[in-house]
Amino acid sequence: MGIGRQLVGFMPRRNIFLPTICIVLLIAAWTFRAPSSSVDRWLDTSAIRGTTSATPPLTPPFPHGPPSQSSQSSQSSHDNDVDLSAPDAPFVGWPLRRVCDEASWVHGLVYICDNNSGGIGNIRNYIQTCIRYGIEAGATGLVLPRIRERNETDLSDLFADYLPFNYMFDEKHFRNAFAANCPQITLYDDIKDIPGVGGDPYIEYVTPKKLGDRDGCDWKDQNRHTDRFNDQFHKWLNDPKRGRPSPSANHPRLIRFEWGVLWDWLIYRDGPEFANTFGGILKFNDQLLRLGKTALKNMHAYALANGVENGKFLGVHLRTESDALGFWPTYNTQTEAYLKQATKRGFEVAYIATGDPLEAQNFAGAAIEMARMRVVTKTDLLKGKDLEELESLSWDQQGLVDFIVLLGSDFFVGAMPSSFSVYMAMKRHLKTGGLYTRPYKVGTEGDGLSYLVGNYKKYWEGWLFMWDGMWP
Ligand SMILES: *[C@@H]1O[C@H](CO)[C@@H](O)[C@H](O)[C@H]1NC(C)=O
Ligand SMILES: *[C@@H]1O[C@H](CO)[C@@H](O)[C@H](O)[C@H]1NC(C)=O
């Protein structure tokens, strides 16, 4: 039975005529009233995806989004076929500019986002979450983020030393992104460079969630009150009990988060355009990009040399290193799931990323035996000077070379709740729909690009909330 007939069935027959006429009139009025240009804008999928040169590149169908004079790329015509899943995609700046234009800026308020630790997925989110809150608070100063070094003998010790931003990221790119789209913020190299701080800077610690009026909710729940953060934060900042003057050029107030503020900001609050571009402020540095691209090129060559059509390969993230937590999928669970995908999708070669060479060997053995699939790692693919350079890098930096190769794979398999794997699947998903893409369907093979094995039953215990708080 059709839906129409079901609905009709609920109505006394003589009453059908009037409601029908009303609906028809409403639809007609709405259609003719809407300016056709804006309707076209919404319906023109090529404009949305930015794949035609007839429309300005990546022009948002929103009044507040000025067309992208794409901060970094003067080659705006190239933006037409921008692929945001590429590791070196140009930064699309207008969504950031829109957020900055809407902020209420405060002289003398400076955010320090420098206790960023763990692997790439966590480090990015620490930095981005802190900056996003900083913009909302109207911080006109930001100290260039730094990265906490991981102890290479004890991988779970994440606080060995402070390393500069360019340990992983492209500093010039970051500065340009802010200069072009958020000029209200001044970037300081160091705390001592902030005007008026004096010799012994007083830094105030805050946990944004605590300002979130979170009565009755789970402590793990994100901060659902970010729209009110500005109000709440300034109430806290200017509370007479704190005994500090309001921030001003002469009396700066320095803010640092208590450690552990991540996956806290629901990315969809700022719209899909911002959600899918903000992460672009953190681009890998040139050395990592070069090594990663070389390894990717060599991977395709390896696949072709093995008779694989188009050089297709499976990307595997085996997350079983010593710092993996007890409740994560085991080696066997991961291997079984990955080889099942390999067989189902007919892959003959694979690239594996793992910080544990012994496990890589084990996996390669199982792959040949069970899926007739050859497996290589970055050290198999890089030669001579490139290999020397790779080996001079830290464990986490080498992981970024892996990241670039895996981004370029034809299908990716990883594990929940590794933030490296989650970031990978989200970044790869950006290939599917340009700036207006829908979110990745968590726990499925939905976009045909990635699958993460894991436990998807519990949103909090299973760390599924990461997907809602990570900017790819
Ligand atoms: C790294 O960890 C080892 C083993 O726990 C320890 O002996 C060493 O002091 C640590 N190094 C640093 C720089 O913290
Ligand atoms: C950074 O985070 C660690 C881990 O909680 C903490 O012990 C340390 O005090 C933090 N450092 C700063 C400067 O906030």
Report the percentage of the chain scoring pLDDT > 90: 72
Q: To test ligand 2's pocket by mutation, which of 159, 161, 206, 257 has the most ligand atoms within 8 angstroms of CB?
A: 159
Q: Is the pLDDT of residue 77 over 70?
A: no
Q: Which atom of ligand 1 is nearest the CA belonging to 161?
A: 13
Q: Is the pLDDT of residue 49 over 80?
A: no
The residue whose C-alpha atom lies closest to atom 3 belonging to ligand 2 is: 259
Q: Is the pLDDT of residue 410 over 70?
A: yes
Q: For strand 349-353 and strand 374-376, is the pairing parallel, antiparallel, or unpaired?
A: parallel
The per-residue pLDDT for range 259-304, each reduced to its tens digit, is 999 999 999 999 999 999 999 999 999 999 999 999 999 999 999 9
The per-residue pLDDT for range 331-381, each reduced to its tens digit, is 999 999 999 999 999 999 999 999 888 999 999 999 999 999 999 999 999
Q: Is the pLDDT of residue 233 over 90?
A: yes
Measured distance CA(22)–CA(397) in Å, rounded: 64
The per-residue pLDDT for range 298-323, each reduced to its tens digit, is 999 999 999 999 999 999 999 987 77
Give 191's pLDDT tier (boundaries 50, 70, 90): very high
Report the percentage of the chain scoring pLDDT > 70: 83
Ligand 1 center from residue 154 Cα (angstroms) = 7
Give 148's pLDDT tier (boundaries 50, 70, 90): very high
The residue whose C-alpha atom lies closest to atom 6 belonging to ligand 2 is: 259
pLDDT for the residue 8: 33
pLDDT for the residue 269: 94
Provide the mean pLDDT of the chain.
Answer: 85
The reply to whether ligand 2 has any atom less than 6 angstroms from the CB of 115 is yes
Give 212's pLDDT tier (boundaries 50, 70, 90): confident
pLDDT for the residue 177: 98
Ligand 2 center from residue 120 Cα (angstroms) = 18
**C-alpha torsion angle, residues 238, 244, 250, 256 (rounded to 10):** -80
Closest of 307, 311, 356 to residue 331, by C-alpha: 356
pLDDT for the residue 22: 45
The reply to whether ligand 1 has any atom less than 6 angstroms from the CB of 157 is yes
Instruction: State the Rg of the chain over Cα.
Output: 25
pLDDT for the residue 446: 84
Structural domains present in the chain: 1-41 (no CATH), 87-281 (no CATH), 286-469 (3.40.50)
The residue whose C-alpha atom lies closest to atom 14 belonging to ligand 1 is: 160
Q: How many CA atoms lie within 13 A of 6 on its CB side?
A: 3
Q: Which amino acid appears at position 409 of this protein?
A: S
Q: Which atom of ligand 2 is nearest the CA belonging to 256?
A: 14
> What would the 3-class secondary structure string for the chain be?
CCHHHHHHHCCCHHHCHHHHHHHHHHHHHHHHHCCHHHHHHHHCHHHHHCCCCCCCCCCCCCCCCCCCCCCCCCCHHHHHHCCCCCCCCCCCCHHHHHHHHCCCCEEEEEEECCCECCCHHHHHHHHHHHHHHHHHHCEEEEECCCEECCCCCCCCCCCCCEECHHHCECHHHHHHHHHHHCCCCEEECCHHHCCCCCCCCCEEEECHHHHCCCCCCCCCCCECCHHHHHHHHHHHHCCHHHCCCCCCCCCCEEEEECCCCCCCECHHHHHHHHHHHHHHHCCECHHHHHHHHHHHHHHHHHHHHCCCHHHCCEEEECCCCCCCCCCCCCHHHHHHHHHHHHHHHCCCEEEEECCCHHHHHHHHHHHHHHHCCEEECHHHHCCHHHHHHHHCCCHHHHHHHHHHHHHCCCEEEEECCCHHHHHHHHHHHCCCCHHHCCCCCCCCCCCCCEEEECCCCCCCCCCHHHHHCCCC
Closest of 468, 336, 357 to residue 415, by C-alpha: 336
The residue whose C-alpha atom lies closest to atom 11 belonging to ligand 2 is: 115
pTM for the full predicted model: 0.83
The residue whose C-alpha atom lies closest to atom 2 belonging to ligand 2 is: 259
The residue whose C-alpha atom lies closest to atom 12 belonging to ligand 2 is: 115
The reply to whether ligand 1 has any atom less than 6 angstroms from the CB of 160 is yes
pLDDT for the residue 67: 40
Measured distance CA(68)–CA(79) in Å, rounded: 9
pLDDT for the residue 26: 45
